[in-house]
């Protein structure tokens, strides 16, 4: 087989890289290397132009509101059109947290003017919390406005073209969320998955967004090391875009599955014993479908 090569564009690495977002880059790099796929990583900073034909995978991480204010004009006016064209051509994209919010139509801070979005996703975000900027507010009050804690999502595990590759019931994605903003999906937007535990986009039971091979999500931590199926989804989309095929040799993933399954079981066990306040009342019934007898892997493990 001829050498396969992909290019990853890492957007604003020094600005939008909270919550260990570089771990997502490392995961994609390692999984490509194990399969003999050459991956070139280009760091795309403020002012750097982007050509839609040059990048196969985009990654943008998380940051605070001050970081969003810094990058929003550049993302919208300098890079937005090329990113939209690349995704339309089949490029993969992972946008996490604040990066996810800026890939929609707009982000409305709790104070100040609306920030323009890159317009990739039919979604918009409104900041409902005032943070700790007001002297009279306590940490407890600010925390009460946030969606913070473990996040467990049932994802269909599909291909970029909409076909399904996972068994019925899908793949469980696990991570951590910490946001006071609420993201709302427009009529043409498709969620990444359904919330099993946690808050997700805005508490309506949906988490993230997906457009072809592009994914926006509140899963942090970073999300890809514990969710290898999502990492492979991005790599597969990039291969189809660049080489017209998506043959991915299976990996043993023993450590990845152990980390994933341990996180899932820890989250579900904490919920069943009531150690996670604020969980939706519908969750206990959902847990009966994913917590299996001892020695059996959780649903969605390949």
User: What is the tally of helices (H) and strands (E) in the chain?
Assistant: 8, 14
Strands 106-108 and 147-155 come out as unpaired
Distance CA 14, CA 39 (A): 20
Going by pLDDT thresholds of 50, 70 and 90, the confidence category of residue 158 is low
* 120, 83 contact by CB (below 8 A): yes
209, pLDDT greater than 90: yes
Q: 233: Cβ–Cβ under 8 A, 6 or more apart, which residues?
A: 92, 157, 159, 160, 213, 215
Q: How far are the Cα atoms of 121, 166, 168, 188 from residue 172, in angstroms, in the given order?
A: 23, 11, 12, 24
Tokens 């899908």 label which residue? Answer: 170
Q: How far apart are CA 302 and CA 55, in angstroms?
A: 29
Token pair recorded at residue 183: 């993201």
- Report the distance separating Cα 167 and Cα 302, nearest Å: 9
Higher-scoring residue by pLDDT: 132, 172: 172
Contact 118, 98 (CB under 8 A): no
What is the per-residue pLDDT for 29? 98
- The β-bridge relationship of strands 123-127 and 181-185 is antiparallel
Bridge partners, 7 (sequence order):
40
Residue with tokens 């359904």: 194
Tens of pLDDT along 191-207? 999 999 999 999 999 99
Q: pLDDT tens across 114-143, in order?
A: 999 999 999 999 998 655 444 455 555 555
If one looks up domain 4-129+142-287 in CATH, what number appears?
A: 3.40.50.880
What whole-number distance in Å separates Cα of residue 95 and Cα of residue 241? 19
Q: What torsion, rounded to 10 degrees, do the Cα atoms 154, 106, 67, 195 define?
A: -10
């Amino acid at each position: 087989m001829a050498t396969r090569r992909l290019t990853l564009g890492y957007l604003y690495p020094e600005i939008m890289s909270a919550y260990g977002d570089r771990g997502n880059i490392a995961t994609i790099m390692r999984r490509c290397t194990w399969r003999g796929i050459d991956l070139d990583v280009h760091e795309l900073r403020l002012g750097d132009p982007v050509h839609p034909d040059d990048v196969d995978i985009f990654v943008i991480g998380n940051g605070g509101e001050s970081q969003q204010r810094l990058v929003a004009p550049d993302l919208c006016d300098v890079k937005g059109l090329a990113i939209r064209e690349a995704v339309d051509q089949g490029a993969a994209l992972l946008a996490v947290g604040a990066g996810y919010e800026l890939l929609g139509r707009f982000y409305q801070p709790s104070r100040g003017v609306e920030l323009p979005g890159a317009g990739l996703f039919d979604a918009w975000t409104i900041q409902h919390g005032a943070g700790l900027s007001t002297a009279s507010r306590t940490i407890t009050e600010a925390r009460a406005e946030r969606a913070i804690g473990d996040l467990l999502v049932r994802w269909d595990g599909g291909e970029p073209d909409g076909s399904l590759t996972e068994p019925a019931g899908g793949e469980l994605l696990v991570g951590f969320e910490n946001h006071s903003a609420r993201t709302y999906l427009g009529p043409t937007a498709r969620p990444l998955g359904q919330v099993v535990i946690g808050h997700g986009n805005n508490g309506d039971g949906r988490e993230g967004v997906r457009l072809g091979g592009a994914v926006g999500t509140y899963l942090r931590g970073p999300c890809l090391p514990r969710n290898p199926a999502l990492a492979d989804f991005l790599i597969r989309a990039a291969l189809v875009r660049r080489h017209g095929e998506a043959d991915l040799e299976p990996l043993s993933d023993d450590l990845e599955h152990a980390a994933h399954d341990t996180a899932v079981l820890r989250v579900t066990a904490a919920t069943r014993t009531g150690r996670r306040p604020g969980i939706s009342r519908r969750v206990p019934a959902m847990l009966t479908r994913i917590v299996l007898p001892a020695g059996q892997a959780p649903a969605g493990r390949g």
